[in-house]
Amino acid sequence: MDLGVAFISQEKIDIQRYIDSPEEIQRLYKRTLWIVVLSQVFGGAGLAAGITVGALIAQDMLGTDSYAGIPTALFTLGSAGAALMVGRMSQRYGRRYGLSGGFIVGGIGAIGVVAAAMTDSIILLFASLLIYGAGSATNLQARYAGTDLATAKQRGTAISIAMVSTTLGAFAGPNLVGVMGKFAESIGVPSLAGPFILAAAAYLLAGTILWVLLRPDPLVISTAINKQVEQDTSSVEEEVEDRRGIFIGAAVMVITQVVMVSIMTMTPVHMRHHGHDLNAVGLVIGFHVAAMYLPSLVTGILVDRFGRVAIAVASGFTLLAAGLVAAFAPGDSLGMLIVALALLGLGWNFGLISSTALIVDSTVPATRAKRQGSIDVWVALAGVSGGGLSGVIAAQTSYMTLSLVAGILSFILIVGLCKVPGRAWKFSWKS
């Protein structure tokens, strides 16, 4: 009992130390960013496996293109449930529990995909992809951990640092498809399951890093600081959420996710039909994933400098360009497909970082993680729709039609954002 009381007392003392010292908060903020960066390097590698070969595994097992979008839909659906779980766990117990748990579950799912490929079990494949989706949800929610202790002027940059670190693993993952395929074959596993061996190891490592190092927990400290400020202030006003800001941020996330996932999912299948080998597919997806994350550091600075809504509009224009290039690029042109998928990744990057900053601006620490998790559920469900319908649309019409439909959605996003009141284009949503 005495040890328990001593532990609780020490925890309170540690929190009070951060409450009393802005310098200590900034030191913890920087340390948290480094931990998130380290975990995201591995998380990015785990994420890339499903993007690169998920559709191809289903195509081989089912023998048709019409259901090639199912793997993306399934692991995105799994990420929806995981986003809710990670958000609620983080709100109740802290980021450390939510994020480490999500990555470990994702790693278990990747192991299941490998087992499914070895046994040629489509049921096990689908079930494992659902579980594997937890890694994707956690990979996205990790970006919020970097903002818990950031000031308003640091939030865009904090999100960027968390995301840009994903580039190393995310770009390496697709380009290791050939290597991992040969390794898989050497141990008696189908070559397409090779990237999921990498994903399992990467997700488990990311979860372990967060569990061991993310102490003290940034969300716990942020919530404690906010409560202390409310107690100390003489004002009777309480900080409240900006529902309009949350809605606009969520809408930008949802639309950019639908556009990105729909084109990305069917590009490997489209390339295969035009004679491209697995290494070429890995190259295109590698450029795509790099464009999703590598520009993040610059994007964060732009978001903090020019405003959340302005960069969200830039996202719409970039995604529109991606849809048009993908639609009219010759199927045998590797260069044009790289350009299209790179634009697709960049547009998604603009949209995600600007909308994430807007959501952080518009929420309060007491409910922030829970709200973030709920929004990520809708984002994941949008990905499910994009991934599931993309195969049907491409099979019934063409890859060109699918890309043009995605471009139209991007245009709708631009029009909607241009109707947002002028004051919301300023640096701070609550200006």
Segments forming the whole domain that contains residue 306? 19-228+241-425
Structure token pair of residue 218: 């940034």
Local confidence band at 236 (pLDDT 50, 70, 90 cut-offs): very low
Q: pLDDT digits over 207-230, tens only?
A: 999 999 998 888 888 888 777 766
Structure token pair of residue 404: 């043009």
Q: What is the domain count for the chain?
A: 1
Q: pLDDT digits over 140-191, tens only?
A: 888 788 888 887 777 778 888 877 777 777 667 666 777 888 888 899 988 8
CA distance 257 to 207: 25
Hunting for tokens 């299941």 — which residue is that?
112
Q: Which of 250-264, 271-285, 316-330 has the lowest mean pLDDT?
A: 271-285
Q: Is 233 domain-assigned?
A: no
Q: Is 193 domain-assigned?
A: yes
Rounded to the nearest angstrom, the gap between the alpha carbon of residue 149 and the centroid of all alpha carbons in its chain is 20
The pLDDT score that the predictor gives to residue 373 is 85
> Region 238-261: what's the mean pLDDT?
88
Q: Is 5 domain-assigned?
A: no
Q: Is 119 domain-assigned?
A: yes
- The CATH code of the domain that includes 413 is 1.20.1250.20
pLDDT at 62 exceeding the cut of 90: no
Q: Is 234 domain-assigned?
A: no
Q: Is 431 domain-assigned?
A: no
pLDDT at 281 exceeding the cut of 50: yes
The pLDDT score that the predictor gives to residue 65 is 64
CA distance 428 to 404: 34
Q: Is 290 domain-assigned?
A: yes
Closest CA to 39 of 117, 119, 96: 96
Q: Is 110 domain-assigned?
A: yes
